């Protein structure tokens, strides 16, 4: 199965800064990656699909890029409400797999 490795495990930034989160696949998955946000005690929410497309209602501060084995989620102009765990997912190769997550803390 495809192993998705996310880095860093934890990221601590201040409001207004930019966050850059990485997801690396153990084999090429084309553009078939997605990013989710999970706030404490809440269920996950789809942010980005097909590597770079924002899901419905997601603000443009969130953007995704990459292809093949390397994917990036960028969050511009961080807000306190962006504190959450962010994890990636691939759907190119069955079974669908997820990264272990990056915890983003807003100082």
Partner 1 sequence: EVDLVESGGGLVPPGGSLRLSCAASGFPFSVYWMHWVREVKGKGMVWVARIGVDGSGISYADAVKGRFSISRDNTKNTLYLEMNSLRPEDTGVYYCAKASDHGVNWFDPWGRGTLVTVSS
Contacts of 80 by beta carbon, 8 Å cutoff, 6+ apart:
15, 106
- Residue 3, SS3? coil
Answer for which of 22, 46, 63, 93 binds partner 1 (CB under 8 A) is 46
Query: How many whole angstroms separate alpha carbon 10 and alpha carbon 35?
Result: 16
Answer for which of 14, 40, 43, 80 binds partner 1 (CB under 8 A) is 43
Q: Which of 1, 3, 28, 7 is nearest to 86 (CA)?
A: 7
Answer for which of 11, 19, 89, 104 binds partner 1 (CB under 8 A) is 89
Judged by CB, which is closer to partner 1: 72, or 97? 97
Site string for partner 1, 69-88 (x = CB under 8 A): ------------------x-
């Amino acid at each position: 199965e495809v192993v998705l490795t996310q880095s860093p495990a934890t990221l601590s930034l201040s409001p207004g800064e930019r966050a850059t989160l990485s997801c690396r696949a153990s084999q090429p998955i084309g553009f078939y990656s997605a990013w989710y946000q999970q706030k404490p005690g809440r269920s996950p929410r789809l942010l980005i699909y097909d590597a770079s497309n924002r899901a419905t209602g997601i603000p443009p501060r969130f953007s995704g890029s990459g292809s093949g084995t390397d994917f990036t989620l960028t969050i511009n102009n961080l807000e306190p409400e962006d504190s959450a765990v962010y994890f990636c997912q691939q759907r190119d190769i069955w079974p669908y797999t997820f990264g272990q997550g990056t915890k983003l803390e807003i100082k």
